[in-house]
Structure 1
Amino acid sequence: MSKALRLSEKWFRFGLWLVAFVFASFLIGLGGTVVANLPKVEHRYELDDFIDKPAAEKLRTELRALQEKRQVAQDAHDQAQLKVNAARANSGAARDTFNSWLSTRHATQRPEQDRELIERTQALEELKILERKALADVERQQQHLLDARQAEARAQRDLHELEKDASEKLNVELRHQELRVFGYRLLLTLPLLGAAGWLFAKKRHSTWWPFVWGFIYFALFAFFVELVPYLPSYGGYVRYVVGIVITVLVGRYAIIALNRYLEKQKQAEAMPDVERRKELSYDTALARLAKKVCPGCERPVDLANAAIDYCPHCGICLFDRCGKCNERKSAFARFCHACGAAGQGEG
């Protein structure tokens, strides 16, 4: 239709479409803010809202104490292990020294060294005793550490069971909350869709059409962006069913609209030629001619063929002769392009 419009009218229409899109963008921003704040209407549930708080607090306190006890046992075990290592090192060094001295004693066979042999043997035995005591202390600390770890693990398991039960209750409540928030979205979006449908049917060609189309775009955005992605799935059943319902409704509307259009076209084509051309607006006729289709039935016509004056499909007059200069011109033209005389298409 743009080819049939005046230059200034094209720019005005372009500007009005910009108004429609800007209006829609502000509405979308406002709607997005409202929708984003919808979850705040509901309480933000957490795990502690569903757990047995006295039992959980008792277990957490016990767990903290056991963790501290386990850390103390770990530190004591590490210290005992260091003492064992030191005792083993002392005992090993003394044993090596004793073996070296004993080898020398066998080589010299000096009786006066028997007393020293006894003293060295006793000193070595004392080091072995210290090593065994240190090892026993390590084993005792290992037992304490194992007990602390097992007690901590039991407390962790008990707390995990409490949290597991609470998590199941939390998930159930979150699903219910999700459905409620979706209901809020639905209550907000459906009236917008209804209003947009009414505006599309009744007001899209009115004087205020930029605001009408801006609101329609906003409603469509609210439906497809703010509502559809949040449809509860239930394994895909809900979304597929909603898709089927929407497809059926849109398809039904399209089929009814198509049949209504075809019936209207049949009635129009049955009217006399003069009345049919009066029913067509000037801009509509020029827009269809610019697309090389018949203004009456919208079927393709070879308008460049000078032999064609009537539509071969519906019989409407496409070209006639100027009453003043007899020049061939469009039957829908208001003035003759050759002499400027008013044509039959005027009015």
Structure 2
Amino acid sequence: MTTSQAYSRPARLLQIASWIIAIVFAGFLDMLGSLVIRDLMFVPHGGPPAAGQFVDTRASAPLDAQLREIERQRSALGDKAQTLSTGYERASTEYHDAQESLRNWLATRSATGDNRNDIELLSRTRKLDVLQANALNWQHQRDALADQQRKLDSQSETINAQLGRLQADADARYAAAQKRYELTVFGWRLALTLPVLLIAVWLIVKHRKSRYWPFIYGFGLFALSAFFVELVPYLPNFGGYVRVLVGIALTVFAGLYMLRAFQRYVERKRAEMQQSQSERARSVAYEKAISAYQKKLCPSCDKPWNLGGEQVSFCIHCGLRLFQVCGCGARNFAFFPFCNQCGTHVKRADDEAAGTPG
């Protein structure tokens, strides 16, 4: 942060523009990362395994050929069954018609009392027997054909059972191969995203205050998105544990880092409180002093000085001089380099006292 960033309008605009650059940079990196993570699925063996490649074709091909032959025979038997059904229906119709005709003829003869046509009766009876035998013959053929169809159905069921067992074995091999493939792809994706996340954490911890901080924060946003968002759709069954464990580790790391930073801050403040006012004043950076003045905090102990009133000259908590009077009579914040009334250079009373020979 530069000297003017605590209060100047151009500096605020620059900070907003820097965050926009960081977000846009993270967005483009995220798009690139999503493409890379997606295309990693084609790294092992050119893509995911296909279910068909695990079928034992040497065992299934003869069975498939037998099924095709059974289907051909079944189709032929179907055509023959239709012909037999037509022939049986015709023979049955002829038999029933002849039987009805004989019945009517007998009824007529009985009504007239004419018993001279025994020869015709025998002829009609023989014809009826022939028609009945013909119908029975068609029926026997139909029964034999039905037996053949049942045998074909039994053979088909046996072959389908064998094919089912082969398919179950193929499915088991495919499931195992698919699992190995998913683990391999997940390993590649984890090998890409986890180091990126660790590098981003290292950059933010070590270089977050560098002049190129927008790119560092943009890279950090991309790393978080890649690991905790882009990786989610491709997690295997146990992948969620990896993501949660890494999240826990990062949380613990961040917590320990913040606790240690706070402890260092407390120790530094405790050491500062043992210094003289002039030494403490010289150790306060101008940017921090301006930021503390805007928040009405003491730049040395970080506590609110306005609890003692708006016209205080010293911090009521640590005794640091905060305000002093210029030669023109104007009251100035002790860390302002120039007077707000006359514009002359303002020297701290502590500096003048330190520069006066004892």
Same fold by TM (over 0.5)? yes
The counterpart of 1:107, out of the listed 111, 114, 128, is: 111
The counterpart of 1:323, out of the listed 323, 326, 335, is: 326
Residue 178 of structure 1 aligns to a residue whose secondary structure is helix
Q: Which residue is equivalent to 1:26?
A: 28
Partner letter of residue 191 of structure 2?
Answer: L
Q: Which residue is equivalent to 2:18?
A: 16
1:45 aligns with 2:49: yes
Cα offset, 1:294, TM superposition? 5.0
The counterpart of 2:133, out of the listed 129, 136, 143, is: 129
Q: Which residue is equivalent to 2:177?
A: 173
Cα offset, 1:101, TM superposition? 4.8
- Check conservation: 1:47, 1:167, Cα contact below 8 A: yes
Partners of 1:312 and 1:5 in 2: how far apart?
26
Residue 310 of structure 2 aligns to a residue whose secondary structure is coil
Alignment deviations for residues 264-308 of structure 1 (CA, whole Å, 9 cap, x no partner): 343445444454454444444444555565544455665795266
Partner letter of residue 227 of structure 2?
Answer: F
Cα offset, 1:200, TM superposition? 0.6
1:55 aligns with 2:90: no
Partner letter of residue 226 of structure 2?
Answer: A
Partner letter of residue 81 of structure 1?
Answer: S
Residues 137, 285 of structure 1: alpha-carbon distance in 2 compared, 3 angstrom cutoff: farther
Q: Which residue is equivalent to 1:164?
A: 168
Partner letter of residue 215 of structure 1?
Answer: F
Partners of 2:296 and 2:175 in 1: how far apart?
63
Alignment deviations for residues 146-165 of structure 1 (CA, whole Å, 9 cap, x no partner): 22222122112112212222
Q: 1:233-252 maps to which residues of 2 (within 5 A)?
A: 233-234=237-238, 241-242=245-246, 244-252=248-256
Alignment deviations for residues 107-129 of structure 1 (CA, whole Å, 9 cap, x no partner): 34344565554444444434333
The counterpart of 1:64, out of the listed 65, 68, 87, is: 68
Cα offset, 1:339, TM superposition? 5.6
Residues 137, 261 of structure 1: alpha-carbon distance in 2 compared, 3 angstrom cutoff: farther
Count, aligned residues? 344
Partners of 2:105 and 2:331 in 1: how far apart?
138
Residues 85, 282 of structure 1: alpha-carbon distance in 2 compared, 3 angstrom cutoff: farther
Alignment deviations for residues 149-183 of structure 1 (CA, whole Å, 9 cap, x no partner): 22122112112212222322222232222222222
Per mean C-alpha deviation after superposition, the further-off stretch among 186-195 and 88-97 is: 88-97
The counterpart of 1:213, out of the listed 199, 212, 217, is: 217
Cα offset, 1:242, TM superposition? 4.9
Q: Give ranges in structure 1 of 5+ residues lacking alignment.
A: none
Q: Which residue is equivalent to 1:74?
A: 78
Per mean C-alpha deviation after superposition, the further-off stretch among 334-343 and 31-40 is: 334-343
- Check conservation: 2:70, 2:156, Cα contact below 8 A: yes
Residues 209, 264 of structure 1: alpha-carbon distance in 2 compared, 3 angstrom cutoff: same
Instruction: Give 1 or 2 for the bigger CA radius of gyration.
Output: 2
Per mean C-alpha deviation after superposition, the further-off stretch among 156-165 and 101-110 is: 101-110
CA RMSD of aligned residues (A): 3.6
Give the TM-score of the pair, scaled to structure 2.
Answer: 0.77
Q: Which residue is equivalent to 2:156?
A: 152
Per mean C-alpha deviation after superposition, the further-off stretch among 10-19 and 203-212 is: 10-19
Q: 1:225-240 maps to which residues of 2 (within 5 A)?
A: 225-227=229-231, 230-234=234-238
Partner letter of residue 195 of structure 2?
Answer: P
Partners of 1:97 and 1:328 in 2: how far apart?
140
Partners of 1:54 and 1:251 in 2: how far apart?
61
- Check conservation: 2:109, 2:115, Cα contact below 8 A: no
Give the TM-score of the pair, scaled to structure 1.
Answer: 0.79
- Check conservation: 2:49, 2:181, Cα contact below 8 A: no
Residue 27 of structure 2 aligns to a residue whose secondary structure is helix
Partners of 1:58 and 1:45 in 2: how far apart?
25
- Check conservation: 1:94, 1:124, Cα contact below 8 A: yes
Aligned-residue sequence identity (percent) comes to 35
- Check conservation: 1:47, 1:163, Cα contact below 8 A: no
Residue 140 of structure 1 aligns to a residue whose secondary structure is helix
